[in-house]
Amino acid sequence: MPIYEYGCKSCGFEKDVLQKLSDEPLTVCPECNEPSFTKKISAVGFRLKGSGWYETDFKSGAKKNLAGAKDPSAKTGA
């Protein structure tokens, strides 16, 4: 379940809330009870970097490391 950041436009109260994707967004501020509680846009907590997890984890044999392959016929979809 993702953690969403919420903020109140009326009183400035902020809170992180653990919700299911199917849950309705919160609208009423738990601090001032005004209907101005909205989701904030924030960065994700992780980053996929490097040559790629797919390249190193799920390929086998001659198909490993296609990004570094010098033979164009070794790439998929050719």
pLDDT of 76 strictly over 80: no
For 19-67, how does the pLDDT look when each residue is reduced to its tens digit (9 = 90+)? 998 999 999 999 999 999 999 987 776 666 666 555 555 556 665 555 5
pTM, two decimals, is 0.54
Q: What is the pLDDT of residue 55?
A: 55
Between 47 and 4, the higher pLDDT residue: 4
Place of tokens 């190193």: 56
